[in-house]
Amino acid sequence: MKEHNYNAFTIAQKQFDDVAQNIDLEPAARALLREPGKEIHITIPVKMDNGTTQVFKGFRIHHNDARGPAKGGIRFHPEETVDTVRALSMWMTWKCAVVDIPLGGGKGGVICDPREMSLGEQERLCRGYVRELSKNVGPVIDVAAPDVMTNSQHMLWMLDELETIYGGHYPGAITGKPVGMGGSLGRNEATGYGVVYTVREALKVLGIDIKNTTASLQGFGKVGKYAASLYQQLGGKIVAVSSWDVHDKKAYTFRNLKGICIEALIEISNGYGTIDKQKAVDELDCEILAGDDWIKQDVDILLPCALENQITKENVKQISKQVKIIAEGANGPTTPEADAVIKQRGIFMIPDFLCNAGGVTCSYFEQVQCNMNYYWGLDEVLTKLDIKMTDAFHAVHKLAMKKELYMRDAAYGIAIKRVADAVKLRGWI
């Protein structure tokens, strides 16, 4: 469910302003950190397979790089907006800071629909995007990664174009690459697994056994699939999954109150998370509900793992009284109005830039491995990821308990202070 007047950047700024006021952040730091430090707007001409040339609009935005090179994904989406990219770049700054990795916040996007483009057209778009940005990306400037509707192949095309331009190998310039081509083991699992690591720790502090819990999931793409899979491995039961159908251009919720076998659901879904409806009914005994019905389920945990602006003032009242935890696998899924209701109800919130920080953490691991030209095994990557996410969760939870803060406010307090301190130490303010 979306509000027509939703603006992600306005929300990101409001979240920042509220916390900045509460922690008494000095005016110069407020003025600097509530705006992106650099914006690049580009147009990308692409030769289409039918012989025509289509011009796509793209963006790359750096919010703040006081703690290290800008870091952030590149989204391909037909409804992409510059304000969304601005917000995501700001959230990425806080995300890197809250898990304490030496990177800043950046984000990129192209207004396009890769689902309606051939592989050749997608490759030419990727290469054109990098050509336009080649002077502003690199391992010590800005490190890109995959995001919504981009993948490891897109990243490798981008890296190849960048290396062609500069005449060398710079694998640390772009992360999320295929394993064997500079990519890290565990990168596919990282964001979804990180979500569940934080859920696991939240259940511990609440005194709840994960094996006695149920969950409803929105989004069955890169984040949702792995989050659901690990949650099920740990003993939890997924009873509802909402996913976007690329053919019908609408979402559906698949529900089985006895529990959905996630591995079987993955087998009947495609790379964009579209689930075969007939097979879900025939093979997995699912009933098919409206796409927004995921939020209405009587479960212990809600896992919004799709896009921003999904829990709003209109549908927040539909959240069951049984829900104990909301874990934001997506970026910005909850509007401030809905957040106030969730806070008032006492639902344990794991905020997005903490909950889904596993992706950027593993991207950082990939960058480190590329720069060393030495790669770790899967168990080592996931162990390091678990440690980072667990430590970050408990640092935020400790502050929340000490100051009697909402988890989102505590996470913001830690992240903003770390970035503000870096800005001051550099002498920028």
Residue-wise pLDDT for 13-52, tens only, equals: 998 999 999 899 999 999 999 999 999 999 999 999 999 9
Residue 264 has a CB neighbour count (10 Å cut-off) of: 13
**C-alpha closest to that of 206 among 300, 329, 333, 342:** 300
Is the distance from CB of 252 to CB of 289 less than 8 angstroms? Answer: yes
Q: Which of 107, 177, 225, 388 is catalytic?
A: 107
- Beta bridge mates, 252: 243, 290
Pair of tokens at residue 130: 């990098």
* Percentage of the chain exceeding pLDDT 90: 92
Q: What mean pLDDT comes out for the span 303-313?
A: 93
Q: Global pTM?
A: 0.91
Q: Which residues fall within 8 angstroms of residue 35, CB to CB, at 6 or more apart?
A: none
- pLDDT per residue as tens digits for the range 48-82: 999 999 999 999 999 999 999 999 999 999 999 99
Residue ranges per domain, the chain?
36-169, 189-355
When pLDDT is averaged across residues 346-354 and rounded to a whole number, the result is 96
Would you say 99 and 357 are in contact if contact means Cβ atoms under 8 Å apart? Answer: yes
Of 222, 217, 227, 218, which Cα lies nearest the Cα of 195? 227
Average pLDDT over residues 122-126: 98
Candidates 2.120.10.30, 3.40.50.720, 3.90.1490.10, 2.70.98.50; CATH matching 189-355: 3.40.50.720
CA atoms within 13 A on the CB side of 267: 9
The reply to whether domains 36-169 and 189-355 share a CATH topology is yes
Cα Rg for the chain, rounded, in angstroms? 21
pLDDT at 295: 97
Task: Establish whether 388 is a catalytic residue.
Answer: no
Mean pLDDT of the chain: 95
What digits encode the pLDDT tens for the residues 207-246?
999 999 999 999 999 899 999 999 999 999 999 999 999 8
- The predicted-structure confidence for 161-208, as pLDDT tens digits, reads as follows 999 999 999 999 999 999 999 999 999 999 999 999 999 999 999 999
Statement: residue 1 has pLDDT above 80: no
Question: What pLDDT is stored for residue 307 in this prediction?
Answer: 84
DSSP state of 178: P
What pLDDT is recorded for position 247?
86
Q: Enter the tokens of residue 402.
A: 């000490």
- Give first-to-last CA distance, the chain, whole Å: 41
Q: How confident is the model at residue 323 (pLDDT cuts 50, 70, 90)?
A: very high
Cβ(59)–Cβ(39) under 8 Å?
A: yes
- Determine the pLDDT at residue 4: 54
The rounded distance, in Å, linking the Cα atoms of 195 and 190 is 9
* Residue whose C-alpha is closest to residue 388's, from 352, 422, 357, 426: 357
CATH class of the domain comprising 36-169: alpha beta
Segment 92-121, tens digit of pLDDT: 999 999 999 999 999 999 999 999 999 999
CA distance 119 to 141: 29
